[in-house]
Amino acid sequence: MTEIKLYNTATRKKGVFTPLDTNDVRMYVCGPTVYDRAHIGNARPVIVFDVLYRLLREVYGIEHVKYARNFTDVDDKINATAASRKAAGAKGTLEELIQERTDETIAWYLDDMRSLGNIDPDFAPRATEFIDQMIEMNSELIGKGHAYAAEGHVLFAVDSYKNYGALSGRSVDDMIAGARVEVAPYKRNPMDFVLWKPSDAETPGWESPWGRGRPGWHIECSAMARELFGERFDIHGGGLDLAFPHHENELAQSKACCGDESFAQVWMHNEMLQVEGKKMSKSLGNFFSVRELLDQGYSGEVARFVYLSTHYRKPMDWTDKKAREAEATLRKWRALSAGIEPASRAGASVVAALADDLNTPGAIAELHKLASSGKAAELKASALLLGLLQDDMGDWADVVAVDLSAFEAKLSDVRDAAMVSKDFAEVDRLKKAFTDAGLEVRMSKQGVDLIAGSNFDPAKLEAL
């Protein structure tokens, strides 16, 4: 069986992944708060953990892997969005408008993530479906001395859990200094965080031992993961921005409730995303939703390739240049594999790259080797493991089945002759002709590659 190594945020090192049960591998990933369209940064963890899901299924078997990604559908941002709709004249109660907004946003999210080639998880729990479990967990924490009720709130007592800060590597003093801590008279410690809070007459709420209210953000994931996967499971994932406070608080409340060996055994976090070298910002005009990116003409498959070209633990930079290069590569691979059934298994070198802490750039390098050697069936099977070359994602490519190998050989021969004669006029002429025909020309020590772009016109090659 393939040995998988993963970087564990909790231990600060890469180690061999050993499932608690190889017949029941379980992964929980924090999903979106559903008040608006997902932006392109939100898509990164979805793609990262989709590839991990595919790898786990490849190694342990589809029937032995379960993946949950939640929806936070009770939140102050959602309430504020619905309230602004109501103020603008939308019909219905605030609660009805909140339900309408969350249903709409979840549908958008699922559609956008599918457009990027992601498999739907096995479980997509909504927080509002697990309120009873959250109330029960809060009661257990109070009973064990790790939480307390005050003025209609339930708060986790940070001082009661000695390892608080271990996941993010921060001391409590550092966290107070570096975070916007809500100071409230009912808190025993400024770092204590909310597990339950009161709701007014219009805001969504549920009856509880502490009055009508709604859950805090952090308790939602702990309760849902526990209900779906039990007190111990294998992997918990999400963006690095969630490591503190969300995941730190999840870990503390879950272990305080269920013991030090409980909850996730491996914690994984992907780095953040930039656009053209700059942090995404609406003021800079580089803040895009996934839908806006697709509407600009970038295909979901091309976008996915760009995401996978950077290792998940490194900052990723979305650029138009990378997208154009990805499109050219995918056109070539689709032309090579058109009409060919994928091999029964992905290439061993591609699996090995992914098994080394999801080294997707390394896996893509191996795909290039398979393409260069003409191993189309193995290329297709291996690309599918990364969610690329899926049949239902190829409409954008409009593949033109033209064999460019003779042109590549011709340019290679002319270049070799020019290296001897030092006369590169013919090399330059051919390169210009190929570029004018819509081909990207790549020359290296290994040889010549011609890659068809979106404006490729085979008719312009006839004169050559």
What are the tens digits of pLDDT across the range 200-238?
Answer: 888 889 999 999 999 999 999 999 999 999 999 999 999
Residue-level pLDDT at 402: 66
β-strands 439-444, 316-318: how paired? unpaired
Residue 94 has a pLDDT of 84
pLDDT digits (tens, 9 = 90+) for 297-341: 899 999 999 999 999 999 999 999 999 999 989 999 999 999 999
Indicate the pLDDT class of residue 399, thresholds 50, 70 and 90.
Answer: very low
Largest CA distance in the chain: 89
The DSSP-derived string for 357-400 is T--HHHHHHHHHHHHHTT-HHHHHHHHHHTT-S-GGG-TTT---
Rounded Cα–Cα distance for residues 87 and 360 (Å): 47
Q: Report, as an integer, the average pLDDT of 264-289.
A: 89
At residue 152's C-alpha, the angle toward residues 150 and 157, to 5°, is: 40
Q: Which ranges constitute the DSSP H helices of 273-359?
A: 290-295, 300-308, 320-337, 348-355
What is the predicted pLDDT for the residue at 283?
75
* 157: helix, strand or coil: coil
Q: Which of 247, 318, 314 is nearest to 277 (CA)?
A: 318
